[in-house]
Structure 1
Amino acid sequence: MAINPSSISTQNGIKNVSNIPKSIVSSVNLSDMMSISSDGEAAVYEKSDQTTASSKNTYTKDTVTLSEINKQIEMKLGSLRSTVENLFNVQSVKTGEAQGLSYEQIMEKYDGKLKEFYQNLKVDDSTRLTAQQEISADGFWGVKQTSERTIEFAKALSGGDPSKIALLRNSIEEGYKAAEKAWGGELPEICKQTQEATLKGLDDWANERN
């Protein structure tokens, strides 16, 4: 069951975008990318004193937007964690595997072989339908919403500073590499599409600043 996503979404059980989006079944846990302060200040763009010989731009991290995105993702991940735990426990009764593992313990137990874990996980029709809706074109973990949310997060994190685009792009690429390693093979197509859409969004942002 691939739900995606760093992620820089949380798709398919990715635990951390900073090293992972934290997306893989969870897709890139975007909220773990960097710590978020809660001083409540929105992003501000200011010009330096006009009397100075050369003006400098000041970019301030948009903690309000970061906090809001973080809350949305944590709410969705909470539901996802519960679903995975329940499915695992139900299946463990039949297979004799250890029961009562938390989502984090399951992710650790199957780190590097999440693909195998999810392919063998028995999923009921109701859960499958919900997952399909979540990763649909208009779903929370779908390509469009996940990539747009990631780009918004990146802009808020940098305070809109275009000089940080290359760094943000590199972080996203590294996050997907970490996700692929945790997944234990080539990521599902939806993850690839999400990464492409996210990187294109960063390129479009860079072009806007030129």
Structure 2
Amino acid sequence: MKTSIISGHSLDYKLNQFSASVKSDRSIQASKKSMELNMISSQFSISVKSQAFENFNKQGILLKENFSLESMDLKLDAPGSDLNQISDPQSLFGENDYWGVKKTSERISDFVLQGAGDDLERLKSGREGVLRGFQEAEKAWGGKLPDISYGTMEKSLEAIDEKIRELGGSVIDLST
């Protein structure tokens, strides 16, 4: 142990056993920025999950056997869609119809693509949100959703994955 006298005060210290870490304002700001980005990414994923769940769930409700249009209290959000004027609910699910695979997957993937822009991490968070929303819809249904929902999920993920690859990212889907 060494002792030094500084301004009349003694200071005892051991050499080679003292370490200190000093964070600069720059590293603190970078750390805060990283935390903020993680929070934004998580919030985005939650928003996507909610949006995906809503779309998958509505598809399923509308396809459900013995479904009564008159007793249904469901806001479709489809332009010009009045449930009471629909004679056959299956007519909502054609290739180019509002609740068909193409248009529903476009709504889901567009929500992710527009919300994430060219931010690779947000795209990945959005993709995860779609998967979580689908899983939540399956739970709400107590298991398997109608086949159209699986086609919708697949199409949604294809569009998101394409953008991720376009930006130089990669996607490994271990869920299948």
Provide the C-alpha distance between the structure 2 equivalents of 1:103 and 1:134, rounded to a whole number of angstroms: 14
Q: Give the CA deviation at 1:177.
A: 0.8
CA RMSD in angstroms, aligned pairs only: 3.2
Provide the C-alpha distance between the structure 2 equivalents of 1:26 and 1:164, rounded to a whole number of angstroms: 25
Report the TM-score when normalising by structure 1: 0.44
Instruction: Report what 2:58 is aligned to.
Output: 26
Provide the C-alpha distance between the structure 1 equivalents of 2:124 and 2:117, rounded to a whole number of angstroms: 14
User: 1:24–1:179: 8 Å Cα contact kept in structure 2?
Assistant: yes
Q: Does 1:155 align with 2:104?
A: no
Q: Does 1:136 align with 2:94?
A: yes
Q: 1:154 to 1:20 in 2, by over 3 A?
A: closer
State the identity as a percent: 28
Q: 1:27 to 1:160 in 2, by over 3 A?
A: farther
User: 1:19–1:175: 8 Å Cα contact kept in structure 2?
Assistant: yes
User: 1:17–1:23: 8 Å Cα contact kept in structure 2?
Assistant: no
Q: Give the CA deviation at 1:159.
A: 3.2
Q: Does 1:171 align with 2:129?
A: yes
Task: Give secondary structure in 1 for the equivalent of 2:153.
Answer: helix
- Residues 60-118 of structure 1 show CA distances to partners (whole Å, capped at 9, x for unaligned) of xxxxxxxxxxxxxxxxxxxxxxx967335xxxxxxxxxxxxx559xxxxxxxxxxxxxx
User: 2:120–2:167: 8 Å Cα contact kept in structure 1?
Assistant: yes
Report the TM-score when normalising by structure 2: 0.51
State the one-letter code of the partner of 2:166. E
State the one-letter code of the partner of 1:87. S
Q: How many residues align structurally?
A: 108
User: 2:113–2:160: 8 Å Cα contact kept in structure 1?
Assistant: no
User: 1:20–1:174: 8 Å Cα contact kept in structure 2?
Assistant: no
Provide the C-alpha distance between the structure 1 equivalents of 2:117 and 2:68, rounded to a whole number of angstroms: 35
Task: Give secondary structure in 1 for the equivalent of 2:70.
Answer: helix
Structure with bigger gyration radius: 2
